[in-house]
Amino acid sequence: MKQTGLKEIKVLENRVKILEIDQERELENITTNLEAIYELKTWTEEMKIRNRILQHFMRINILLNQYTFETNTLCEIIQLAKIGQIHPSLFTKQELINQLRDIKVSVPSGTDLPIDIDKGDPYELLGLSDVIIYYSDNKIVFKINIPLVYQHVVADIHECRSLRLLQYGRVHINYKY
């Protein structure tokens, strides 16, 4: 029995050694896994920081692009103002038509705008107008002098066309202001 007991003890010692080796391997695996998890955690935190920094740079880039666009538009407005023109970004075609309708209502009787604002291009009126542009109180001021057409002059010209036919080229135009 002693021999059987010794054999069992040796078998048990071998099994304990195997278990110790397995335990050491498992401990190494756990340590390796913990190190990998720590590295991933550190890498994830670094990526979060990099992502935040990238987001800030993107926002700054967007703001700088917007600032550049607005600065270029302002330079174009100033350049066109120097030659007496109005930049189209200052008001839309519809805004100009609405303004001209308000003006048309307030013109003296017997006068009218030189173009039909509903049928023609309202920007043509700016080409016919005297545009005065100056800087005052940190603002660029556009003063637009719109020429008015007197309706009775149109009637006189219409009569002259009739007279021309009757008088063989003799045209008499009476302008009344």
Total number of residues shown for the chain: 177
Low-confidence ranges of the chain (pLDDT < 50): 154-177
Name the CA radius of gyration of the chain, rounded.
45
Per-residue pLDDT, 69: 96
Per-residue pLDDT, 171: 34
Bin 137: left if φ > 0, else alpha if -120 < ψ < 50, else beta: left
pLDDT tens track for 66-108: 999 999 998 998 888 888 778 888 878 888 888 888 888 888 8
Residue with tokens 């071998």: 14
The percentage of residues in the chain with a pLDDT greater than 70, rounded to a whole number, is 81
Reported in sequence order, the residue ranges of 49-169 that DSSP labels E, i.e. its strands, are 111-112, 130-136, 139-145, 149-150
Cα distance between residue 53 and residue 46, in whole Å? 11
DSSP 120-143: S-HHHHHHHSEEEEEEETTEEEEE
Model pTM score: 0.51
